[in-house]
């Protein structure tokens, strides 16, 4: 049982956390790997209904017996990571941190603030980009996880650990961050990008495993793409949350707040161009469409597709020339669509 990689097909916040948890749970994964830094928050709901937002841990951390791995390509805010560990009571034995993951320092955060990244490109100012720059420059002093006393109980050679799991036939899930449209290499809107590549290949490289072991690439998209607030780059067919709320027929306002900076996101109508590019770059084996509940809020039938949602699904599939395999009907519900006849509009 080899590797599943979860990627975003737009500008982040597609619901990858929920999907990564779903993939890990339904595949019986032995390990879940989180790459990147704390500049993105992934949301997941426990069976009890409790909501968690992780900036470091993979969302499968709330599942029993899944090892949580911070790979060599991770950029770690130690206090944030340990707070998440304490929040869910994660045993020491279930968190493995590679010795050569990079530590984000207070100076990294300050450097991003001083150069005006928030105003310039809508940065979250978590220090992730500055830590990446320090690593790449090879001229500035950096701290690795092996140099941080608080992380010593968790240190392990993660490449050796994960390779051993794969050799034993266990499933490994890599939970990617952000979205294809934010890749520093592939976005058409540079410099409005994150500090890393955000493709399946980029995430796999950060973990240090072979592409020969990947048999499952799960791309997540949403009906109404978003960007972070401020001067964060072009967003085709941008609308307001008030307009989306009115068109959906919702009784209460629909609005999204960023999980890291707690600011109101920008939102737009579905744009097929970025999704088609993401599909070409990642060649997903499965495609998940989230936020179908934004299409039709009146008379919402939980766990089913209404007629309006079904029509919207078909329009999107034609626009991207790709069948959708699963849909998200709420923050908690992911519905497989392997047999269309079983999920006809209610």
- The CATH superfamily of 226-343 is Adenylosuccinate Synthetase, subunit A, domain 3 (3.90.170.10)
Using CA atoms, how far residue 129 sits from 80, 104, 317, in Å, is 17, 9, 35
Q: What is the pLDDT of residue 138?
A: 87
Per CATH, is 3-219 categorized as 3.30.830.10?
no
- What is the Cα–Cα distance from 200 to 232, expressed in whole angstroms? 23
CB 143 within 8 A of CB 149: no
Q: What DSSP assignment string belongs to 272-317?
A: HHHHHHHHHHH--SEEEEE-GGGT--TT--TTS--HHHHHHHHHHH
Q: What share of the chain is helix, strand, coil (3-state, %, to 5)?
A: 35, 20, 45
- What is the Cα–Cα distance from 33 to 35, expressed in whole angstroms? 7
CB 334 within 8 A of CB 305: no
Q: What is the pLDDT of residue 263?
A: 85
| Regions of the chain with pLDDT less than 50 | 339-346
pLDDT in tens, 286-307: 999 999 989 988 656 556 788 8
Q: What DSSP assignment string belongs to 168-231?
A: TT--EEEE--S-GGG-TTT-TTTTSS-SS--SHHHHHHHHT--GGGEEEEEEEEESS-EE-SSS
pLDDT in tens, 158-196: 999 999 999 999 999 999 999 999 999 999 999 999 889
Using CA atoms, how far residue 148 sits from 48, 125, 205, 299, in Å, is 35, 22, 24, 53
Q: Structural domain boundaries of the chain?
A: 3-219, 226-343
């Amino acid at each position: 049982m080899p590797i599943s990689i979860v990627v975003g097909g737009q500008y982040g916040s597609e619901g990858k956390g929920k999907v990564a948890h779903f993939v890990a749970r339904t595949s019986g994964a032995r390990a879940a790997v989180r790459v990147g830094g704390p500049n993105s928050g992934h949301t997941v709901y426990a069976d009890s209904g409790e909501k968690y937002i992780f900036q470091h841990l993979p969302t499968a951390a709330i599942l029993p017996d899944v090892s949580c791995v911070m790979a060599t390509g991770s950029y770690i805010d130690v206090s944030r990571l340990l707070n998440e560990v304490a929040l869910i009571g994660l045993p020491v034995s279930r968190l493995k941190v590679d010795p050569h993951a990079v530590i984000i320092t207070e100076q990294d955060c300050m450097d991003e603030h001083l150069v005006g990244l928030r105003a310039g490109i809508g940065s979250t100012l978590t220090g992730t980009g500055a830590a990446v720059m320090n690593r790449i420059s090879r001229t500035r002093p950096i701290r690795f996880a092996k140099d941080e006393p608080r992380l010593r109980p968790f240190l392990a050679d993660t490449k050796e650990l994960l390779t051993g799991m794969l050799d034993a036939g266990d499933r490994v899930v890599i939970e990617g961050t952000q979205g294809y449209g934010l890749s520093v290499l592939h976005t058409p809107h540079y410099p409005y990008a994150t500090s890393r590549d955000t493709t399946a290949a980029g995430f796999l490289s950060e973990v240090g495993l072979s592409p020969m072991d990947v048999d499952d690439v799960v791309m997540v998209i949403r009906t109404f793409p978003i960007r972070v607030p401020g001067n964060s780059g072009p967003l085709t067919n941008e609308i307001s949350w008030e307009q989306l709320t009115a068109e959906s027929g919702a009784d209460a306002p629909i609005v999204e707040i960023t999980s890291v900076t707690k600011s109101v996101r920008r939102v737009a109508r579905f744009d097929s161009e970025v999704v088609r590019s993401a599909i070409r770059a990642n060649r997903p084996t499965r495609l998940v469409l989230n936020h179908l509940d934004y299409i039709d809020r009146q008379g919402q039938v939980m766990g089913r597709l209404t007629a309006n949602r079904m029509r919207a699904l078909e329009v999107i599939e034609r626009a991207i020339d790709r069948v959708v395999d699963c849909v998200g009907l709420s923050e908690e519900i992911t519905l497989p669509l392997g047999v269309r006849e079983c999920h006809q509009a209610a």
